[in-house]
Amino acid sequence: MDLLKPLVALLAIVNPIGVVPFFIHFTQTFSPEERRRTIRISAFTAFLVIAVSAVAGLKVIEFFGISLASFQVGGGTLLLISSLAMLNAQPAETKPTDVSEGNEKVDAGASIAVVPLTIPLLTGPATISTIVIYAEKTRHLWEHAVLVGYGVVIGLVTFAAFTAAGRIAKVLGRTGINVMTRLMGLILAAMAVELLADGLTKLFPVLGSHLAR
């Protein structure tokens, strides 16, 4: 197996740079420390998803009794909900007014870091299925270890891309962020529809036959 192909494919599919606008949107009201924590959690979660997919693959999904198609439909629904808020340029979180709300916001930042930033924006069904396909082609333990190592590379690239998001936000300003948020919301909505359509077609093949007519 050509071990460079999985890395190239992962970098193209995960595309951390393309997720930067969404990161700016979801964390625009966060403090620097909250933003750094979100970056760390996102980077580690991206590594974890790839590592688990390389080692366990579809067995994890099958354990919960779901398919990749169901995962696509769930992820597409989540993206569609997020896109609606972005089309209105609404921030993901509001500023806290007391300590208890501040604690809730820290928890929310951790949640946002995992869903939807890492799953499914960074590492969705396409990433998982890609890793599973290459894992099935491995013949030695060290090849599996290399795939897990690629998870480290993706985590580091994600960390670097999200860290640079602050400078990007300063250049754009509030108006620029709002414009970008609406544009990315429209793109995200289109991505969500594609993900939903693909998942539903796999779950209900009769839909695909009707669309093909």
Q: Does pLDDT of 208 surpass 70?
A: no
Question: Is 77 among the domain residues?
Answer: yes
Question: Is 149 among the domain residues?
Answer: yes
Poorest-pLDDT segment among 56-60, 98-102, 127-131: 98-102
The domain containing residue 60 runs over which residues? 4-205
Poorest-pLDDT segment among 76-85, 99-108, 126-135, 173-182: 99-108
Question: Is 84 among the domain residues?
Answer: yes
Could you read off the pLDDT of 12-56 as tens digits, one per residue? Answer: 888 888 888 889 888 888 889 999 999 999 999 999 999 999 888
Contacts of residue 96, defined as CB under 8 A and 6 or more positions apart, other chains included, come to: 102, 104, 105
Q: How many domains does the chain have?
A: 1
- Contact present, 172 and 180 (Cβ < 8 Å): yes
Cis preceding-peptide flag for 96 (omega within 30 of 0): no
Question: Is 54 among the domain residues?
Answer: yes
Question: Is 213 among the domain residues?
Answer: no
Burial of 27 (0-12, 13-18, 19+ CB in 10 A): buried
**Nearest CA to 118 among 150, 88, 146, 78?**
78
Q: Does pLDDT of 92 surpass 50?
A: no
The count of C-alpha atoms lying within 13 angstroms of the C-alpha of 24, restricted to the half-sphere facing its C-beta, is: 28
Question: Is 14 among the domain residues?
Answer: yes
